[in-house]
Amino acid sequence: MIVIGALVAVSAALVYRRDGIDGVTEILTHDLSLFGGILPRVLAGCLLGAFIAEILPHEKVSRSLGPNSGLKGLLIGTAFGAILPGGPFTAYPVASALLAVGADFGATIAMVVSWTLIGYGRAVAWEIPIMGTDFTLWRIVISLPLPVLAGALGRFVYVRIYPKGEAE
Amino acid sequence: MSAALLIDIILWGSVAAVGFIAFQRGRTVLTTSLREGAMDFVNIVPRIALGVIGSGYIAAIIPQEVITGWLGPNSGWLGVLTAVIAGAATPGGPVVGFSIGAVALKAGGGPPQVIAYVVAWALFAFQRVMLWEIPFMPARFVWFRAAVSVPFPFLAAAIAMAIGKP
């Protein structure tokens, strides 16, 4: 937090020196409106995470997404990440909730990676308009196997770093 | 109907759906989760404020041509490596990352390199990891996930080279 705060202050000072006060206020207004726009989604994400943590049956999650869930767990994580609505403010609280109720690192990695790479939210809202449909679709096709591979690699490394299944 | 509105509807629809399930489990389940969700929200808002408002300034002082210069189609694996590092270093929100990718593509960047850039940026852009992932998730998980993700932009570039698309 402090490092980022300092970084932001230095950057703002540099913008001020280069563009004057107009440059600083222009970025500020733009980012403030962006901030106002995402606040409701942040609230929705936090609520979604809290509800999911509360209503998901722990034994069931650890069975279907836990360390012994195998390829199926990774595929469920991938599918879940791909259909999860909203931005980082939704995906990360939900991922955190899954970890808390018994999903292992592998399945949660599959979910987070799937959400960033093949989730439709960012692709529809930003990537298609900016990068074009052709690039975006090929990029997604190429990315399809990656969440499962990342989750499998995560699981493979995890059991070697924490052989005793170290608690949180 | 705009995509953003559609996403908002799906998002709040999901909140309402899981909220209804919680309500059916009983009033305590509902109020507990509402309180926890609200507490998370209150804790996270200042960090997001700093991240969103600050990222504009950070993005403004990084010259984009530095990032786009090294990704030409003949740059090969060195270009891919550069793209991955550039992706990790790119600050700002989705607009910044995709805009740089689009500029690189238009300025003659090779598609595998641009794929590597976009995938690396999506997987472990440093600023997003710091500002978004760390506040929401256990730090140990975040670093672990980022480390495990390192090979995948290279794999994506390799697949792009192999299939000759996009």
CA B92/CA B58 separation, integer angstroms: 7
B135, B51 in Cβ contact below 8 A? no
Q: What is the pLDDT of residues A94-119, one digit of tens each?
A: 899 999 888 999 999 999 999 999 88
**Count of domains in chain B?**
2
Same domain, B116 and B39: no
pLDDT at A37: 78
Q: Which residues of chain B have pLDDT under 70?
A: 1-4, 62-69, 92-93, 95
pTM, two decimals, is 0.78
What pLDDT was estimated at residue B102? Answer: 81
In a shared domain, residues B75 and B28 = no
For residue A43, list chain B residues with Cβ-Cβ distance below 8 A.
Answer: 37, 41
- Which domain does B44 fall in, by range? 1-61
On whether both B20 and B43 belong to a single domain, the answer is: yes
Residue B44 and residue B82 share a domain: no
Q: Are residues B151 and B92 in the same domain?
A: yes
Question: Are B42 and B69 in the same domain?
Answer: no
What residue segments make up the domains of chain A, in order of their start?
Answer: 42-161
Residues of chain A with pLDDT under 50: 167-168
Which tokens go with A90?
Answer: 């939704």
Instruction: Please answer yes or no on whether A31 and B52 come within 8 Å at the CB atom.
Output: yes
> Given CB atoms, is A75 within the 8 Å cutoff of chain B?
no
B17 and B67 belong to one structural domain: no
Domain end among B39, B61, B83? B61
Comparing alpha-carbon positions, the chain B residue that sits nearest to A95 is B137
Enumerate residues 60 to 79 of chain B having a beta carbon within 8 A of any beta carbon in chain A: 60-61
Q: How many CB pairs under 8 A join A and B?
A: 229
Question: How far apart are alpha carbons B90 and A43 in whole angstroms?
Answer: 27
Cβ density class B63-82: b for 16+ within 10 Å, e for less: eeeebbebbeeebeeebbbb
| pLDDT for B69 | 67
Q: Do B3 and B23 fall within a single domain?
A: yes
Q: Among B61, B79, B111, give the residue marking a domain's end.
A: B61
Q: Which residues contact B56 (CB under 8 A, 6 or more apart)?
A: A27, A28, A30, A31, B92
Q: Give the model's pLDDT for residue A1.
A: 63
Q: Any idea what DSSP says for residue B131? A: I
Q: Does B95 touch chain A (CB under 8 A)?
A: yes
B50 and B131 fall within a common domain: no
One domain for residues B142 and B119: yes
CB B124 within 8 A of CB B146: yes
Of B34, B61, B88, the one marking the end of a domain is B61
Contact B57 A1 (CB under 8 A): no
Task: For residues A108 and B14, give the distance between their C-alpha atoms in angstroms, rounded to a whole number.
Answer: 20
Pair (B105, B155) in one structural domain: yes
3-class SS at A60? helix
Give the model's pLDDT for residue A59: 79
